[in-house]
Homo-oligomer: A and B are copies of this chain.
């Protein structure tokens, strides 16, 4: 089991989700603390697995990935072979940013990023439709992204025994 997070930990995680390039000292100033304890806390958050990794966010437009689409896929059947065949094939496609195995109407939802509609057509024809397990595909295109990705809202996991002695 993992340690409980206190209010300072939550604040650190929120800050790091927005901007992981801040120095410990800058984070410390925001929280009215000093760099050392911030550093220890971040190290612990990493070691305990709360922070999985740090990534750079690129501008899709500038690297010719300006068109994003959600591709909803139904397989021909739900055999174990079809599922693993599909997943194996999808993982190799660079246009597929994310692949989710879903409950409900669709078997998979893919988040796809390509240069333009021509490139998406190319992707469907030469990549996706070549996968044998595919039954039907429905596409919706992203016109506008209203909320940016990546940041999870953080609340304190159920805290049955609030510590009365937190110096924070």
Contact = CB atoms under 8 A, between A and B. Distances in A.
Interface of A: 2, 5, 13, 16-21, 48-60, 62-65, 68, 70, 87, 90-91, 94-106, 109, 111, 113, 138-155, 157-158
A64 B143 contact: no
A147 B70 CA distance: 14
A59 B51 CA distance: 6
Q: Determine chain A's interface SS by DSSP, over half rule.
A: mixed
B54 A21 contact: yes
Contacts of A55: 16-20, 54-55, 57, 150-151
Copy number in this complex?
2
A151 B97 contact: yes
Contact of A63 (B13, B16, B18, B65): B13
Given A50-B63, A97-B150, A100-B142, 19 more contacts: A17-B56, A20-B55, A21-B54, A50-B58, A50-B59, A51-B56, A54-B56, A55-B150, A58-B154, A62-B157, A64-B158, A87-B146, A90-B146, A95-B153, A97-B147, A98-B148, A104-B140, A109-B140, A111-B149
15 contacts: A19-B55, A20-B54, A50-B63, A53-B57, A55-B150, A60-B152, A70-B100, A90-B146, A94-B153, A97-B152, A98-B149, A100-B142, A100-B144, A102-B140, A102-B143
